[in-house]
Structure 1
């Protein structure tokens, strides 16, 4: 396979795979023939600019979607029978008549979109040779937390189809296939960051992704003294009217009025000089995009030079922009960031910001490794006291991208 080499059970995904293997064997009276895994991601900085030709700086996290599968006993019906361990639900995909996109999407629709894209890629004849299969998947990527659980499911599905079909996709090709599945089958016009992170993730490195050229540069991260803490607010406000698509449309409208081919051509001075041609909302959205592109480039330099305080200030500035200019934060995310800021450098915290699409989900915090437990306890206690909600916190190192598990 043209993906990272296979890993064994004693890896960050090991416990998840062992549970899944036991569940699959118990339900189907035989062990799985194939097991694959794909990680979620957290974005350190560069939010809502992946679909605006910007730069993003995510890392794959040590939380995965794992899929176990085996050929079905007997060839009929020619389906992929799928069970979600987390949701305790089952569904199936007809391998001869793949589903059409429909909204609202189900978890099976995300997988169905990948199956459909894979058939288009390898051709109907070769796809028709896939065996009827039993699939079971389990995830420890928080759902609805802005950590790309859907992209992890899509990429894991594509990785499984590579193994089963004996087809090798280019890594960028696989990521784009999964992005298209999310566009067509989930109705989410996402950028390329989530799927690229899950495919290209490397241990001990952030991924600097140029979303205009799709070029990747891995930025080494010395994690001995500094850690990344992910805090799930455990809230997800429902977005009436499609806020994500609305933000994208506002950016497109602003860029058209600025008469620029790409946001990479828009400088802060150019934006200010043409402010009168934009609505107030368009100007605010544009100011976030232009400033976030600049912050992300500076962040990569700060990581490479170990300037953690400078990186932390960029993270705080990013959150402020997302809160006020892009308006995708919420009171719970703001509270978590302020709690981290209140601990400050004296307590080992360099910076914090919301991460993901917003309106709930997670924050990402950069801090001294020796302070992870102390900081986590403080944030968890104060967040519960002030919001009445239990937060879920975990630290993660940059993790390995999608891969086959050695059974």
Structure 2
């Protein structure tokens, strides 16, 4: 049976429900003050922290995140309006109220990506929700526009903190729009499928990890998210340890604006790994499925073709851990042979086109026209190496989590070593670690962290640390004195509490109804 997005009558899905009650009541009070009535329901979706497997989801390799209790909640009601529109209010005064006019002819709204406001993320949600209704439930609209809505948004996921604030608002908004327009039940699979592409409409070429983790999150469980042969999330219990394991999230307070920096950061990495897949395919005489966000091959597609077509081995189902570890280990070594020393420095556009046997015009049209990018050299070898080794690390952690014979005395140190190795790769091969990230990482490792790494897109944002409860107090104290008070001497206790947070795996997307 397909798992549906749950509907709750209270807040018991939080680990500490009582602490959330004032926030929800403030949201409802703000809605009543703004619109003169109470909301019909509250739509909610959390942020996520990725424990291992960054920048490999858009290559279709599996990842291992967990939803967190930082989330976006939206109070929603339908309203009558002579002109169909969405009235958006945010409880954070830094985000000004917006009114989004809907096309009167019932067509799908468009996004002007050059006009960058927080309301654009809601427009993205309107697009995917509207298209889903037209696909599955056209009778709900009958050619009419979407319903006019009043919406108040409250978010605790730090913007630009690397914890997927954009995915949280897109998923929460999509879920709320669907419910307000008559879609009372939606499967987690469908909600993930339609929101995976939502941020593409603001020019950010995301994969699917953030949305999937936000939708499928479960209390006290991490998620093994697969993209091939199909999108699915399998929860795994974190084994008990002595002392008890803890995850600490620290925000560098260096904002990673994924939208504004995308041409030189996020989008460029997507292009580089796509070029890497096509170069490796040409070296090995393989044709790849053109199923990436750029309509090119992917590194997962190359891996599958290399072992089945070139080496005549059985197809990998993505779940045989030992087989996956063996194949990714081999590819990580082969990459060293497949790129020459000069190519390891980087490719100009002309050099990359020549390596693929196409004209510069064709290369530009194929790789550089869909999303904006800027570069002097394409670091194809480095990004390809990272993707293979990072995908290997995901399976190594999964092996630790699923092995009933694991050694409890070495479990934490093994997990921490893999996280540290991931951070080294993100810094040296993927180049999405800034000096502030490196400094925070070094302080943590020297003061009680067993494993520390950037989580999410990087280029600033947050780090996740693996530690134990007995070391938490000393770790937080060291981070406070040696990083936060050093760089932000006037930081308040409230700001520190928001920047340094102990977290647990949390419940995913849901609807909340009834009195709070």
What is the rounded CA distance, in whole Å, between the counterparts of 1:385 and 1:37 in structure 2? 34
Does the CA contact (< 8 Å) of 1:302 and 1:308 recur in 2?
no
The answer to which of 196-205 and 76-85 deviates more is 76-85
Alignment match of 1:276 (pick from 325, 340, 344): 340
**CA deviation profile, 1:322-362 (whole Å, cap 9, x unmatched):** 0001111001110111111112xxx4x32110111111000
Matches within 5 A, 1:236-251: 236=255, 239=261, 241-251=263-273
Does the CA contact (< 8 Å) of 2:276 and 2:299 recur in 1?
no
Matches within 5 A, 1:240-319: 241-259=263-281, 261=288, 262-264=298-300, 265=303, 267-276=331-340, 278-280=343-345, 281-304=379-402, 305=406, 307-319=411-423
Residue 237 of structure 1 and its aligned partner are, at CA, apart by 5.5
Aligned-partner SS, 2:157: coil
**CA deviation profile, 1:2-35 (whole Å, cap 9, x unmatched):** 2024151355354432221121122222211111
What is the rounded CA distance, in whole Å, between the counterparts of 2:22 and 2:502 in structure 1? 17
Unaligned runs of 5+ residues in structure 1 are: none
Is 2:500 the counterpart of 1:393? yes
User: TM-score scaled to structure 2, two decimals?
Assistant: 0.73
Matches within 5 A, 1:97-116: 97=104, 98-104=108-114, 105-116=116-127
**CA deviation profile, 1:158-186 (whole Å, cap 9, x unmatched):** 211232233233322212211222112x1
What is the rounded CA distance, in whole Å, between the counterparts of 2:194 and 2:414 in structure 1? 37
Does the CA contact (< 8 Å) of 1:6 and 1:406 recur in 2?
yes
Between Structure 1 and Structure 2, the one with more strand by share is 1
**CA deviation profile, 1:213-272 (whole Å, cap 9, x unmatched):** 323221112467111100000012663743111111111111111116442416123212
Q: Match of 2:224? A: 208
Alignment match of 2:140 (pick from 88, 107, 126): 126
RMSD of aligned Cα (Å): 2.2
Q: Match of 1:178? A: 195
Does the CA contact (< 8 Å) of 1:332 and 1:387 recur in 2?
no
Residue 385 of structure 1 and its aligned partner are, at CA, apart by 4.8
Matches within 5 A, 1:28-107: 28-72=35-79, 74-86=80-92, 87-97=94-104, 98-104=108-114, 105-107=116-118
Residue 293 of structure 1 and its aligned partner are, at CA, apart by 0.4
Aligned-partner SS, 2:97: strand
What is the rounded CA distance, in whole Å, between the counterparts of 1:31 and 1:125 in structure 2? 28
What is the rounded CA distance, in whole Å, between the counterparts of 1:371 and 1:90 in structure 2? 43
**CA deviation profile, 1:346-393 (whole Å, cap 9, x unmatched):** x4x321101111110000001112332331121121103543465610
What is the rounded CA distance, in whole Å, between the counterparts of 1:53 and 1:180 in structure 2? 14
User: TM-score scaled to structure 1, two decimals?
Assistant: 0.92
What is the rounded CA distance, in whole Å, between the counterparts of 2:139 and 2:84 in structure 1? 14
> How many residues are aligned here?
401
**CA deviation profile, 1:125-145 (whole Å, cap 9, x unmatched):** 624375422111110110000
Does the CA contact (< 8 Å) of 1:114 and 1:177 recur in 2?
no
Alignment match of 2:473 (pick from 362, 373, 378): 373
Q: 1:44 to 1:161 in 2, by over 3 A?
A: same
